[in-house]
Amino acid sequence: MTQDEMKKAAAWAALQYVEAGTVVGVGTGSTVNHFIDALGSIKDTIKGAVSSSEASTEKLKALGIEVFELNDVSDLDIYVDGADEINAHNQMIKGGGAALTREKIVAAVARQFVCIVDNTKHVDVLGQFPLPVEVIPMARSYVARELLKLGGDPVYRQGVVTDNGNVILDVHGLSITQAAELEEKINQIVGVVTNGLFAQRGANIVITGTPEGPQIK
Ligand code: 5RP
**For each successive 10 residues of the chain (217 residues), what is the average pLDDT?**
97 98 98 98 98 98 98 96 98 98 98 98 98 98 98 98 98 97 98 98 98 96
* pLDDT over 70, % of the chain: 100
Regarding pTM above 0.95, the answer is yes
Q: What are 147-186's pLDDT values in tens digits? A: 999 999 999 999 999 999 999 999 999 999 999 999 999 9
Ligand 1: centre distance to CA 151 (Å) = 25
Long-range contacts of 107-110, Cβ-Cβ distance < 8 Å, separation of 24 or more:
107/25, 107/79, 107/81, 107/198, 107/201, 108/201, 109/25, 109/50, 109/70, 109/73, 109/75, 109/76, 109/79, 110/25, 110/76, 110/77, 110/78, 110/79
- The answer to whether residues 67 and 50 touch, using CB atoms and an 8 Å cutoff, is yes
User: What domains appear along the chain, each with residue ranges and CATH number?
Assistant: 3-122+200-216 (3.40.50.1360), 131-196 (3.30.70.260)
> Which residue's alpha carbon is nearest to atom 1 within ligand 1?
97
User: Is the distance from the beta carbon of residue 209 to the nearest atom of ligand 1 less than 6 Å?
Assistant: no
Ligand 1: centre distance to CA 132 (Å) = 11
64 labelled as ligand-binding? no
User: Is the distance from the beta carbon of residue 95 to the nearest atom of ligand 1 less than 6 Å?
Assistant: yes
> Which residue's alpha carbon is nearest to atom 10 within ligand 1?
31
